[in-house]
Amino acid sequence: MVKYALWTNDVETTSIWHNTLRDETGLKAWKEGMPVLLDIYRRHNIRSTFFFTGHIARLYPDMVRMILQDGHEVGSHSFSHKKEDGLDALPFKAQLYQLQTSKKILEDISGQEVISFRSPALRVGENTARALIESGYRIDSSVASQRFDFFLSFGSRKKFKWLAAPRLPYRVDENNIFKKGNSPLVEVPLSATLFPYTSTTMRVFPFITGVQRHLSHRENNWNGKPIVFDIHPNEFLDESGEKRAIERRNSNLFAYLLKDVLRSKLKMKNLGPAAAPLYEQEISFYARRGYISVPLQTYCRETGLFGPLGAPTKQAELQ
Ligand SMILES: [Zn+2]
């Protein structure tokens, strides 16, 4: 059986150092972060998926174009990465706006159809599946099955649904993205073993990631589950020379110290050039074991996840 290690990238204007969205950090992500990623992928013969926010694509369209010559896939990371625009919090129509606007911007820039999606901070509501289908997406990768977020991410309450979500890629239930169904939308869950298997864990808790990679490889041998890793070009930026204020999101002093200060301290570890060798170590582990790395779209086609063309969807059956 072919083994897949899918390296995916979320491209946005988030500054990890400043803990906020900044257009100038987006510019650095383009000029300094993206070249690091593209170089690693070239040297390891990897093709991957880059999820861009519509906002950063509109600001820096050449950032989208720069991935095309290496055969990477352009995916959507919604239009806005602002907390108030999290898809789990938006009404259906506003979700459609986010999904359709970003798709249109990215298609105009890349000249390719955009069918893959990942939600900012992985925030999706049950009806996000229907919004994605109506907007013409075929793949979502926003569910991290069996991942447990203590306090490191937003929208944690909804994310309890991850604990019961299927582990292997699945066709989603149109009315509940966390469940199997027969809608045209394929969910390719992010890898997780309670802890997220992402670049944040890799930088902050490298020991945990070392354990995770062995578990993920074992699981792949057992059930073929693809490795789906998530990284950001922003993690290769060193903005530590810039003055910053830690944003206070919690009004209670204890919660402020525990969550805001601790979180923002932790998230700085191995930020900047130190992140690159850690990422390469991750990639090499799977390369040595014969995994191949393709964009999500290619993975879904090669493994038959889209099903036979014209296969009836739930909606078609109801008509
Ligand atoms: Zn993001």
Spell out the domains of the chain, with CATH numbers in brackets: 5-318 (3.20.20.370)
Q: How confident is the model at residue 317 (pLDDT cuts 50, 70, 90)?
A: very low
* Average pLDDT rounded to a whole number, residues 117-121: 95
Burial string for 212-232 (b: 16+ CB within 10 Å, else e) reads bbeebbebbeeeebbbbbbbb
Query: What are the tokens at 17?
Result: 């150092």
Q: How far is the CA of 286 from the centre of ligand 1 (A)?
A: 25
Q: Which helix (H) or strand (E) holds 316?
A: helix 314-318
- 98: alpha, beta or left? (left if phi > 0; alpha if psi -120 to 50): alpha
pLDDT reported for residue 194 = 77
Share of the chain above pLDDT 90, in %: 67
Q: Are 236 and 36 in contact (CB under 8 A)?
A: yes
Q: How far is the CA of 77 from the centre of ligand 1 (A)?
A: 7
Q: pLDDT tens-digit profile of 74-107?
A: 999 999 999 999 999 999 999 999 999 999 999 9
User: Average pLDDT, whole number, for the chain?
Assistant: 88
pLDDT reported for residue 137 = 98
Q: How far is the CA of 81 from the centre of ligand 1 (A)?
A: 7
Instruction: Find, among 29, 75, 67, the residue nearest to 300 by Cα.
Output: 75
Query: Could you give the count of Cα atoms lying within 13 Å of 202 in the half-sphere of its Cβ?
Result: 24
Q: pLDDT tens-digit profile of 21-65?
A: 999 999 999 999 999 999 999 999 999 999 999 999 999 999 999
Q: How confident is the model at residue 157 (pLDDT cuts 50, 70, 90)?
A: low
pLDDT reported for residue 251 = 67
Q: How far is the CA of 314 from the centre of ligand 1 (A)?
A: 31
Q: How far is the CA of 12 from the centre of ligand 1 (A)?
A: 6
Q: How far is the CA of 13 from the centre of ligand 1 (A)?
A: 9
Q: pLDDT tens-digit profile of 197-237?
A: 888 889 888 998 999 999 999 999 999 999 999 999 999 99
Instruction: Find, among 152, 151, 175, 180, the residue nearest to 164 by Cα.
Output: 180
Share of the chain above pLDDT 70, in %: 87
Please give the sequence-ordered ranges of beta strands (E in DSSP) within the chain, or none if there are none: 5-11, 14-15, 20-21, 49-52, 73-76, 116-117, 139-140, 170-173, 176-180, 186-187, 192-193, 195-196, 227-231
Q: How far is the CA of 111 from the centre of ligand 1 (A)?
A: 23
